[in-house]
Structure 1
């Protein structure tokens, strides 16, 4: 077996509990993608077990009990908001030998009794208890005023225990032997009865009322429910005996798709009673989805029954009963959202959403997305998109046939196909809806890594995707950023990221600007223009705020085109100019022909100045404002691409004062500005950082980023930054910059070690050498050491090192060998490697010139 793969299996074997991929990767100091790859191989070999959930957990394969597969699939929310709850319930049901006691909390009508009965059914169906095992129910509230009666019902009594006890009788505990006892409103039990009950939980024994000397035994699984806060109404000693506590949410707090499922089931029950098909009109459905009543589902159930009775009386001869808003006997809030009609067939039981068919494919997609965070290359992108598009719509046909899909479909057409002109991406809608309907999610840390990468690499596409999800109705409060990223990746084949300019049209009147935007983008077959409609009767402040928010999310360094209708120009320009980082062209009149002409020029990447000069031909008011950022700024322009510039910005921007902006600039634009000597462009620029030497005479200060690795370059930048930053902040910047350049090179060469982890360890090694020999190594030397030591450690782990005999000569070299053994001892123990004399001799060659 592969050495690294064997380490993965060995580590899992030693762990007492299941572990996530990320946690295992951290323990082994391997990259997450490598660990994920080996885990999936071990899964195919049936050597490990994968536990589905969020996140996925891994453990070694063991002889799994047949009873350890309890399913609870016919409960609304089992694959959604209640997934964690159901996992707890399943754990309680299968736990040997007799399960765990369960306490269900929640307001009245949320489904506590229903869930309790489903737990009993599940245990029988899976063979965990016998099919004829008892399921006994006691509502403690019914006898709350008579604790002795409750005691006799629970524990039974002997003859003569009290007046009227003419014969011995078994209690509910005895009746529930080898089955379940459900105690509803358990908080109404007296303290004495709670004490008796926890004594039974501890010992499995109880005494009948009237006989304290003869113990009785029973194996009973307890489920309890309460509407109150258990910490306030139950004895602490009693609560300690209930390891599983779950809370059911109110109907109004359930996700939108789960509320729809609940309504389907409630209407189905009434349809079956009436033996009629039902059609629930859109306004009634929308109103029912907004119900927020203390009675929750119980309240809805009664209201729906009354509405069905009223509609049935009116349409008794009809095969399909149509329910309207007027049939409900309660005041309801109307909703502007149109979810369509709800059709119910009494002969077809509504199926609850099940994601098991898609789970394995979703897991693969999550692995692809993780790989993308480590290698955002075209090949990785291609693999992700292939897996995203491989979702089989036939497998999830049910997901595509509901009211939410209709809403999703209409909005996708309106925003993606019409507003942004991407009609060729029509086929993606069904795939996107599967992710939305299935509550697709990834780990938070993975999302935080992926979002800046995707938004930086695909800014135009990301803007289109985020616009869509900002307008899509929210099912719940979950984070929809992962859906934005999925849509961005899928749309990336259809949005032209090479268009450098940004353009916005603003006009008075409902649909005035957006209708022209839609026509122009559709004719161009791509996203060119954004648009904002200005209501006639609304103040301009709101529009200005919206425009500024939009502009702030754009890279406007290459130029910005603003098209406005008459009367908006002066106020808009004066407020947006401070938000722009490049030249501005204002066209003070909007026509479809003018907008289309500009759009086609933008699509052809016509030079901004050329567009501005040709704009005079429109014979309308056109104004060109030349300039750059109105704020003090530092320009970063790298020949390798805007991505490197963006990364440098991420390092330095957080430590600078708010008034100073770090602006990534396309290298071609920088060269063009220098060639045409547009020095006013740099009027507020403090200095420019590049990755190429600027040989021309220029009016601004500049420095090659790679010169920072030399003492002279570092000294120069320290002088420039010293006005704004402390010594510690400057040191932090240099350290992060060095690590970034080191990581870029090392990541391409390492086979499986995690670059982030190994770089920190190499930094610590370098510091120990510097401290011992009183050295101050410059950036270039450190970069070389980073590369050499990281690759050396991986080489030793793979046992790919040369076995060459070395002769140590002189005290200095002998001392270096001794110090190196000491410095590397923690690394040797951690990675289970042994530093050979040959490897130390290579290190000595690197350090010799500094310690002579």
Structure 2
């Protein structure tokens, strides 16, 4: 079945979910938003479905479109999907509660929008057919009659002829007139106690009497809304207060999120543009000052202020098509300013920067997907899908409404991310990061912390750029969630697989970062880090900065530090303990040298090659510091390749403190170091784990990891680690090792080959060895062969690198290699690979141990 047919079937089976967004369909089929949109448009062309324009776009089945359409409500109330989301949800609950809703009181200082919210509640009720479209909405400001409670009572409840002097005929009150609709009583605290008592009796029974009426009672089905600027508990009778089910508080303007304050200003200017019938251009400085307004007048004062200033501007620009509102209008001073255009003929969605349920649900799904996975490759795969999902999301603000704050944000983004780190992001990245910085989303902080911990290992470079950029912002919405989302977005543009780490250090306010900027831009990506050392900065401060930076990365593959002349060329002695691998210090920083080193790192040149070239190519004094690690460490080296070593490292790392490093090296290099008796190389190593048995003459404690499957090997590991781990941690680590080296564990580590097929073929290889040499392998040794041979074939298929160490075999080894060629020939033909002599010599390492 075609994908578009599957989508149509899904829509037909889930009519209750219609209309539906593109993103929800994409999530259902695990497709990108752009691909899903393509299929939906094809279905629209076939007239199977129809698009409902809006933000976001919705899709419905053609025959059910009319019944599927849902009214949009509270859209004009800025903050309804942002800081006031819970407030609006309260309103919706009260409106919909059967049979006649719940009474509500809206609290807040003058000018916060209480009356406006009351009218929005009325509009919502009509749009959802809770009340009739012609239902009344009546308002009474109780403060207007506070000094005449009898008059207020007659207006509210009505009166009969002769009830008082001047009552010449019967007259209905607001309770009767509002029947079937809403009655909004503003400044309700100004009601007298007697009138409060009459009202709570009406709320209880739905009945009342007009003033002067003693026998007859009247009924009215009216929904009551109240508002007050005073604390409810201080100004209302307890009995009256108990009848009001929902209390809603609206915050002051200054306490609203910045983006909502800005949108409120936009809306007011837009209304004035409509009133004038002219285009208004508002300077960004004016908008910025309005956003920072701290007066107690709130929105009401700002509205009056804007009206007066627009009137003044209109008076002097009456004959022009465009009215400019700038600082001279507000503060009698002239500025050269940038303007934002508000066209009276085009209604902008001023609530467009908002949280909606769809966005919250998207974030919830992203966090769940990333937190539920522990395997590194699967984490990378899911991160890629999330990246695509974020880049294809609808960005709910328009270029013509770029705001002052956004322009400043983008300016900093371009300066640091684009220029300093040389990361050529698309514009949508900065827009999406800005969007997340402006809104308040709910998230599990522990879940986000755990995902960020994974990212420190998988995406350290992307995370470093993110944190460097965000640390300059004080916005309360610059949260760890923003950090997570920006890091994911940057992974598309940052190569986190670079092995060698490059760092520039120089005296001066921006010497190092200037060279970093040039080099990274020339490389077209983030390769080098940099630390500036202003003249008034002491060496201890720069050492501390360098240590913190180096601690962010896995430096086991080597670090190149390029410094300028002077005291910085001695910095290596202070930071060497923060570097787990080898260190090269080049002590004369120039752009040419930095670029040459960066290009070598970018092209995957190994540290040793870079270090060797440094002494001959740069014509400067460079220092090469060897030694595997300067801290206590464990070395892991597996004949099956660095991939398995890295996986073992990931398994062990959570059990050890930061004081102990777990490092991986190539097995060929380990053999070379052992043969050369390079004791200095292992001076801080207290354990080596391999998948073979090392010579008895080698003094560093070492264990063949397959021996851990036996009680003797498990005890040996316990004796070595008991100085560093408690008994419970050692027990759990041993359990993890058994799981890792089970057949199930091997299957999990095969990314490409079918585990069931290749493991059966490995079993046949093992049987051929057993038949030829006339012995039976133990289960532990078989497991070793399963692991090594299965992963060897996958590695040979994926990596066609012909640069392998040369082998000078002994007679016994040569015989083994010749026999192995015949054994592996069928598999070589099937998988189109060449099992070279080096690979066969590694298998011989295991075989030799068995024979001995």
Scaled by the length of structure 1, what TM-score is found?
A: 0.68
| Cα distance in 1 for residues equivalent to 2:197 and 2:741 | 67
Residues 440, 477 of structure 2: 8 Å contact kept: no
Residues 433, 486 of structure 2: 8 Å contact kept: no
Residues 500, 606 of structure 2: 8 Å contact kept: no
Residues 355, 441 of structure 2: 8 Å contact kept: no
Q: Which residue of 1 aligns with 2:655?
A: 652
Q: Which residue of 1 aligns with 2:420?
A: 419
| Cα distance in 2 for residues equivalent to 1:237 and 1:677 | 91
| Post-superposition CA distance 1:463-518 (Å, at most 9, x none) | 334444445x676525353x544454454444333311222223344442222112
Q: Which residue of 2 aligns with 1:513?
A: 512
Q: Is 1:711 aligned to 2:714, yes or no? A: no
Q: Which residue of 2 aligns with 1:459?
A: 460
Pick one of 169, 183, 199 that aligns with 1:181. 183
Q: Which residue of 1 aligns with 2:341?
A: 343
Residues 340, 406 of structure 1: 8 Å contact kept: no
| Cα distance in 2 for residues equivalent to 1:697 and 1:239 | 88
Q: Which residue of 1 aligns with 2:200?
A: 198
Q: CA deviation at 1:547?
A: 3.6
What's the RMSD between the two structures over aligned residues?
4.8
Residues 157, 210 of structure 1: 8 Å contact kept: yes
| Cα distance in 1 for residues equivalent to 2:80 and 2:591 | 51
| Cα distance in 2 for residues equivalent to 1:237 and 1:579 | 69
| Structure 1 residues 273 and 714: CA distance shift in structure 2, 3 A | same
| Post-superposition CA distance 1:662-703 (Å, at most 9, x none) | 545465698388456554454444435566665585453344
* 1:279 aligned counterpart, secondary structure: strand
| Structure 1 residues 684 and 257: CA distance shift in structure 2, 3 A | same
| Structure 1 residues 160 and 610: CA distance shift in structure 2, 3 A | same
| Post-superposition CA distance 1:238-259 (Å, at most 9, x none) | 4544444433333333333323
Q: Which residue of 2 aligns with 1:50?
A: none
Q: Which residue of 1 aligns with 2:613?
A: 614
Q: Is 1:138 aligned to 2:136, yes or no? A: no
| Cα distance in 2 for residues equivalent to 1:203 and 1:279 | 55
Q: Which residue of 2 aligns with 1:327?
A: 329
| Post-superposition CA distance 1:141-185 (Å, at most 9, x none) | 444555555444433445566666665543332222211122333
| Structure 1 residues 420 and 677: CA distance shift in structure 2, 3 A | farther
| Structure 1 residues 733 and 180: CA distance shift in structure 2, 3 A | farther
Scaled by the length of structure 2, what TM-score is found?
A: 0.68
| Structure 1 residues 156 and 593: CA distance shift in structure 2, 3 A | same
Pick one of 99, 121, 125 that aligns with 1:97. 99
Q: CA deviation at 1:529?
A: 0.5
Q: Is 1:281 aligned to 2:279, yes or no? A: no
* 1:104 aligned counterpart, secondary structure: strand
| Structure 1 residues 612 and 195: CA distance shift in structure 2, 3 A | farther
Pick one of 115, 118, 121 that aligns with 1:113. 115
Pick one of 84, 87, 90 that aligns with 1:88. 90
| Structure 1 residues 361 and 93: CA distance shift in structure 2, 3 A | closer
| Post-superposition CA distance 1:372-411 (Å, at most 9, x none) | 5437536645544554454477xx6737752265455544
| Structure 1 residues 671 and 155: CA distance shift in structure 2, 3 A | farther
* 1:138 aligned counterpart, secondary structure: strand
| Post-superposition CA distance 1:198-257 (Å, at most 9, x none) | 333333223444556543322222223334444555555545444444333333333333
1:237-636 equivalence runs, <5 A: 238-329=240-331, 341-354=339-352, 367=365, 370-371=368-369, 373-374=372-373, 376-377=377-378, 380=382, 383-391=385-393, 398=398, 401-403=401-403, 406-407=407-408, 409-423=410-424, 425-426=425-426, 429=429, 432=432, 436=436, 443-444=443-444, 447-448=448-449, 450-470=451-471, 476-477=476-477, 479=479, 481=481, 483-536=482-535, 544-569=543-568, 572-573=571-572, 576-617=575-616, 618-627=618-627, 631-634=631-634
| Structure 1 residues 107 and 361: CA distance shift in structure 2, 3 A | closer
Residues 283, 337 of structure 2: 8 Å contact kept: no
Q: Which residue of 2 aligns with 1:13?
A: none
| Structure 1 residues 314 and 454: CA distance shift in structure 2, 3 A | same
Alignment: residue pair count: 687
* 1:718 aligned counterpart, secondary structure: helix
| Post-superposition CA distance 1:304-363 (Å, at most 9, x none) | 2343344344444443233333432599xx9xxx99532122332222344899987996
| Structure 1 residues 234 and 649: CA distance shift in structure 2, 3 A | farther
* 1:585 aligned counterpart, secondary structure: strand
| Structure 1 residues 256 and 213: CA distance shift in structure 2, 3 A | same
| Cα distance in 2 for residues equivalent to 1:354 and 1:320 | 25
Q: CA deviation at 1:555?
A: 1.8
| Post-superposition CA distance 1:717-772 (Å, at most 9, x none) | 433444455545555555677678889749959xxxxxxxxxxxxxxxxxxxxxxx
| Post-superposition CA distance 1:760-817 (Å, at most 9, x none) | xxxxxxxxxxxxxxxxxxx99xx9xxxxxxxxxxxxxxxxxxxxxxxxxxxxxxxxxx
| Cα distance in 1 for residues equivalent to 2:541 and 2:150 | 68
Residues 456, 552 of structure 2: 8 Å contact kept: no
Residues 637, 670 of structure 1: 8 Å contact kept: no
Residues 502, 561 of structure 2: 8 Å contact kept: yes
| Cα distance in 2 for residues equivalent to 1:392 and 1:220 | 41
Q: Is 1:224 aligned to 2:226, yes or no? A: yes
| Cα distance in 2 for residues equivalent to 1:224 and 1:673 | 85
| Cα distance in 1 for residues equivalent to 2:428 and 2:645 | 29
Q: Which residue of 2 aligns with 1:755?
A: none
| Cα distance in 1 for residues equivalent to 2:150 and 2:723 | 82
| Post-superposition CA distance 1:512-565 (Å, at most 9, x none) | 222211211122222110123344556666655544433222222222233333
* 2:118 aligned counterpart, secondary structure: helix
* 1:640 aligned counterpart, secondary structure: helix
| Cα distance in 2 for residues equivalent to 1:392 and 1:602 | 37
| Cα distance in 2 for residues equivalent to 1:314 and 1:538 | 55
When structure 1 is superposed on structure 2, of 411-420 and 433-442 the one drifting more is 433-442
| Cα distance in 1 for residues equivalent to 2:314 and 2:602 | 60
| Structure 1 residues 563 and 113: CA distance shift in structure 2, 3 A | farther
Q: Which residue of 1 aligns with 2:131?
A: 129
When structure 1 is superposed on structure 2, of 723-732 and 266-275 the one drifting more is 723-732
Q: Structure 2 unaligned segments of length 5 or more: list them.
A: 1-26, 32-39, 41-65, 750-778, 784-852
